[in-house]
Amino acid sequence: MILHVANPSGARATGSGILVLQEAFGVNDWLTSVAERLAGLGIVAVAPELYHRSGHGSVLSYDATSEERLPFRKAVTAEGLGLDMRAAYDWLVRRAGGGVDAQRVGAVGFCMGGRTAFLANAHVPLAAAISFYGGNIPQWFDLVTRQHGPLLMFWGAQDENITREQRRLVADTLNQAGVVNTQAVFSEASHGFFRDVRADAYEPRAAGQAWAMSVEFLHQNGLLAN
């Protein structure tokens, strides 16, 4: 599995790390730009290619149809993702050139990656996990009681892929299980609102607020120094 690594400058390095988890389109330029943005804050950011079991074609066009994405997504299983999250976490804390504290690793993911951030938080001892519009999380409710770090979850009220009922079910289930979580719903936003390279979904106000909340969340959970 290839990991795309963004390292902070020595002066800014905080000793923390974060998994940056892809959308259905793979580890593309936009996702690596998010990793670089996090590295700019002082965090070692790694983006694993979650389609590695499908062979070539880890990056798909934003115009790729569901049928074109299907062969790649079918190769992604909960079991395989659990192994991938463990491998990426272990690389961060053991092989990233030193300096990454095992107690100061988080995750952030988008869409498919938002769901995977929830899974990662169950499989490895994350300090915090951020999920952007992670659909179909209820299929993994067996992992609720295994969550390690607090969760910050972002949703778009105009998202046609994730219903209000699903959002509420996720929040209620986490609350009932005693998982520390924050749910943020942006009234003007749709699916993919944080992706600033696609004008059809990007919502700058929601994206700006979500980034500010994410940075504060990372501060509060020890990934960034106060």
Tokens of 181: 């979580």
Domain 3-220: CATH superfamily, name plus number:
Alpha/Beta hydrolase fold, catalytic domain (3.40.50.1820)
Tracing tokens 């209820």 back to the chain, one arrives at 138
DSSP 142: G
The sign one gets for the Cα dihedral 145, 147, 148, 154 is negative
Residue 80 main-chain phi, psi, to 5 deg:
-65, -40
Closest-CA residue to 82 (of 118, 106, 47): 118
Length of the chain measured in residues: 226
Q: What is the pLDDT of residue 59?
A: 83
Closest-CA residue to 20 (of 1, 41, 4, 9): 4
Q: What is the pLDDT of residue 178?
A: 98
Element (H, E) at 89: helix 78-95
Closest-CA residue to 52 (of 30, 22, 90, 29): 22
| Gap between the Cα atoms of 44 and 156, Å rounded | 28
**Residue ranges for the chain with pLDDT beneath 50:** none
Q: Is 213 exposed, middle or buried (0-12, 13-18, 19+ CB in 10 A)?
A: middle
Q: What is the pLDDT of residue 49?
A: 94
**Which stretches does DSSP call E strand in the chain?**
3-6, 16-21, 43-48, 105-110, 128-132, 151-156, 181-186
Q: What is the pLDDT of residue 96?
A: 57
Give me the residue spans of the domains in the chain.
3-220
Tokens of 154: 């972002």
